[in-house]
Homo-oligomer: A and B are copies of this chain.
Amino acid sequence: MERNQIRVGIIGCGAIGKEHMNRLTNIVPQTKVVGVYDYFKDVADEMAEKYDAQSFASGEELIQSDDIDAVLVTSTDDTHSGYVMDCLKKDKYVFCEKPLALTADECAKMVEKEVALGHRLIQVGFNRRFDNGYRGIKQAIENGEIGEPLMIHSAHRNISQALGFKTDYAITRVAIHEIDITRWLLAEEYDEVQVLKVKQSKRTNGDWLNPQLVMFKTRSGQIIDVEVQTDGAYAYDVQCQVVGEDGTLNLPDPASVVKRTKQSKHYQLGNDWATRFIDSYDTEFTEWANSISDGKLVGPSAWDGYAACVTSDALIKSRVTGVPEKVELITKPYLYK
C-alpha cells in the first residue's frame, strides 16, 4: 500500500531551504511541502506560489498548524533553538539543519524535553550519515573487516566560503561534519579535543585561520585527525581513512570518467558539497519521511546535536588555550541508546 505523504512546513527559504523544498517536492515522493515561512515575507510568498503551499505569517503559526505533520528548520542558526523547542511543545516532528542550537545548554534542554515526552521528535541534518561511502565504511567496521578501529585520518577541503565567514565557523560549519560522522562511525563519545596551529595558506580569501588541524580523542583512546581547509583548496575534497587493527577503510572518491590525455591520467574532482553529497540529502529525507511513517525516528538525534555542540565549544576553547580541552557531556539518556 502506498504511504500517505508527510505534509511538511519549511521555516527559512534561503538557499538551503529552497533546495530542500525542491527535494521534498520533486525528488522525495513521500513528502510534500504544504507550508512555508521566511523572515522576508515576499520570499515566502513566492515559494508558496511556486509550490502551491500556504505562506505563514510566522514560524510559530506554521508550527501550530494542524495541516503540518512535520517541520523543517532551515532558518538562520540563531533561530533554530526556538523553533525546535516550539515543535517539541506541540509534540511535532522537526528536522533541524545543523547546528541544533548555538549553545550546548539549549541542546541539553531539548534532550531533557524529549526524554520527558518519552519519544524522539528531533532529527538533525548531519547528512553524511546517509552517504553510501560512509555507510560502506560503517558496515565494514561492524562486520569486523578491519578489527578494532584505532585511528581516523580525515580531511575536509573547500574551495571557497561565503562572505562573513569567521575562524569559528571552521569548527561550527565545516569540521562539524567530521565531529558527527566520526562519533557515528566509531560509536564512541569524545574524551578531549584540540586545535593545532599550522602554517597558513596564502589562498585564504578572508582574515580567518586556514588551514587548521583538528584532533579528537575518544574515550577508548582512538585518535582522529582532521585537516580543515576552509577555502583556497584545489577542489571540494573530503577524505576519511579508518585505521583498524587488521586493515584500513577509505572513503572512495566519487566515480568519474577516467581521461587519458597529454601524458597524464586524470580524474575530475568536485567543487562543492552540494554535488559531492547530493545523493546523501535525497536519502536523508527519504529515510526521515519513512521513519516518521513508521512512528520511530532513527536518524541523527538531539543527543547527537548536543554532543556536536559540546565538542565544538571545546575545540573553540582549545584554539585559544592551545592545549587539549575535555568534552564534558551529561549522562546519556536511555532514549538515545
Contacts and interface: CB of A to CB of B under 8 A. Distances in A.
A132 interface: yes
Contact of A252 (B211, B227, B256, B262): B256
A259 B145 contact: yes
Interface in A302-333: none
A251 B257 CA distance: 5
* Interface range for A: 35 or more
A132 to B, nearest CB: 7
Contact of A263 (B132, B225, B270): B270
B248 A260 contact: yes
A225 B227 CA distance: 11
Nearest to A243: B227
B255 A199 contact: no
Contacts of A201: 147-148, 150, 245
Closest 4 CB pairs of A and B: A247-B261, A199-B221, A136-B257, A250-B258
Contacts of A220: 199
Interface stretch (A24-32, A56-64, A165-173): A24-32
A154 B27 CA distance: 33
A266 interface: yes
Interface in A11-52: 25-30, 49-52
B199 A222 contact: yes
A203 interface: yes
A246 interface: yes
A235 B307 CA distance: 36
Interface string A166-208: 0000000000000000000000000000001111111100000
A268 interface: yes
Contact of A261 (B146, B253, B254, B255): B146
Residue in A145, A237, A246, A259 whose Cβ sees the most chain B Cβ within 10 Å = A259
Nearest to A229: B243
A103 to B, nearest CB: 30
A153 interface: yes
Given A235-B262, A249-B258, 14 more contacts: A2-B52, A25-B29, A27-B29, A28-B29, A147-B202, A196-B223, A198-B222, A211-B243, A247-B260, A249-B257, A253-B265, A263-B268, A263-B269, A264-B267
A151 B256 CA distance: 21
